[in-house]
């Protein structure tokens, strides 16, 4: 156990040194660009061996196959896949603490979990993935952690933007972006513009977002239209409000399935309006340990549920 903690710390420090060196070189030399190659290669090589413990169950001839012709998992039906999956990525700090690592190591490992989930969503025909990256309440955390997270967002967009575009993923960011660092705002605008025509999967990242904020800003937008006589009181209904919510950026604004990791049983002010009829799944593992097997478990349970939307069993919608 002590040896594992030692090597985990050494790997984290080496990754931090590599990424810091690259960041400095990119700042000094504008033409310097190895971001996509840098610490990701290191983390991809070591992380599966030391940071996670993924299992690879044997597949059978009866398994359904993904868009790449790979088996999905027993019991999972591609035609019953949710169109929109939302995830509260919880447990990064506790994951790091259990391993004797700083919180930043947990957030770094969480990025790798997101990369794995993105690949699965692309292969299995899921159309929208929304992840809760930073809430409006997270600003009360220590400044060092907040600064690290903002830097991590920038580095991740920089290092993965080419992969996202190449794999047909459209990136959208929701939340109050005006409070984010200017450099991060510029990167977000660039990435959103560069991937706006992609249609295989839409990745929606909620940064400085909360469900209450979303409803309030939507109401303010509706009120402004009423003040300027663009709409009448009788025009205000659920559809009008939904058109002003942050999730207006997607064709499928209502998640079919919400996954929260780390065993917590709450939705923490996330997509409050949009989750009205969403199926909820609470996974016990911390986010960095959430892999394909855990995702398959969530999908399998989702596909067994009947979605009645207020009706009776005989009126149930097939998931």
Residues designated catalytic: 90
Strand partners, 171: 203
Structure-block tokens of residue 210: 């909360």
- How far apart are the C-alpha atoms of 257 and 67, rounded to whole Å? 21
Our CA angle for 164, 169, 174, nearest 5°, is: 100
The DSSP result for 187-223, as a single string, is: HHHHHHHHHTT--SEEEEEEEEE-HHHHHHHHHHHHH
Listed in order, strand segments (DSSP E) in the chain are 84-88, 128-135, 169-174, 201-209, 257-260, 279-282, 306-307, 317-318
Structure tokens at 277: 């009829």
Q: Is residue 80 within 8 Å of 319, Cβ to Cβ?
A: yes
Sign of CA dihedral 105, 107, 110, 115: negative
Question: 285 is written with which tokens?
Answer: 């593992």
Cross-strand bridge partners of residue 44: none
For β-strands 257-260 and 279-282, DSSP reports them as parallel
- Residue among 108, 133, 114, 117 at smallest CA distance from 43: 108
Task: Let me know how long the chain is.
Answer: 319
> What does the alpha-carbon distance between residue 298 and residue 14 come to, in Å, rounded to a whole number?
35
Beta bridge partners, 259, equal 87, 281
In 10 A of CB 286, how many CB atoms? 24
């Amino acid at each position: 156990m002590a040896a594992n903690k030692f090597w985990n710390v050494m790997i984290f420090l080496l990754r931090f040194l590599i990424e810091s060196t690259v960041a400095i070189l990119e700042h000094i030399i504008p033409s310097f660009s190895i971001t996509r190659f840098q610490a990701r290669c290191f983390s991809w090589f070591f992380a599966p061996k030391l940071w996670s413990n993924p299992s690879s169950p044997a597949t059978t001839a009866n398994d359904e196959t993904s868009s790449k012709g790979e088996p999905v998992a027993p019991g999972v039906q591609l035609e019953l896949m949710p169109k929109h999956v939302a995830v509260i990525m919880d447990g990064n700090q506790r994951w790091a603490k259990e391993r004797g690592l700083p919180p930043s190591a947990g957030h770094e490992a969480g990025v790798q979990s997101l990369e794995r989930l993105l690949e699965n969503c692309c292969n299995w025909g899921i159309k929208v993935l929304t992840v809760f990256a930073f809430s409006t309440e997270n600003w009360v955390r220590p400044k060092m952690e907040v600064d690290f997270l903002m830097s991590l967002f920038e580095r991740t967009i920089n290092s993965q933007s080419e992969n996202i575009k190449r794999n047909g993923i459209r990136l959208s960011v929701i939340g109050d972006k005006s409070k984010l660092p200017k450099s991060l705002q510029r990167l977000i605008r660039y990435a959103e513009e560069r991937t706006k025509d992609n249609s295989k999967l839409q990745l929606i990242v909620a940064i400085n977002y909360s469900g209450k904020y979303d409803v309030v800003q939507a109401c303010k937008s509706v009120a402004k239209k009423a003040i300027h006589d663009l709409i009448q009181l009788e025009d205000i209904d659920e559809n009008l409000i939904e058109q002003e919510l942050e999730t207006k950026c997607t064709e499928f604004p209502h998640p079919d399935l919400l996954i929260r990791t780390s065993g917590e049983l709450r939705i923490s002010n996330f997509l409050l309006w949009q989750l009205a009829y969403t199926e909820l799944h609470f996974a016990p593992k911390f986010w960095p340990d959430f892999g394909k097997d855990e995702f398959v478990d969530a999908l399998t349970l989702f596909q067994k549920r009947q979605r009645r939307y207020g009706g009776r069993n005989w009126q149930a919608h097939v998931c």
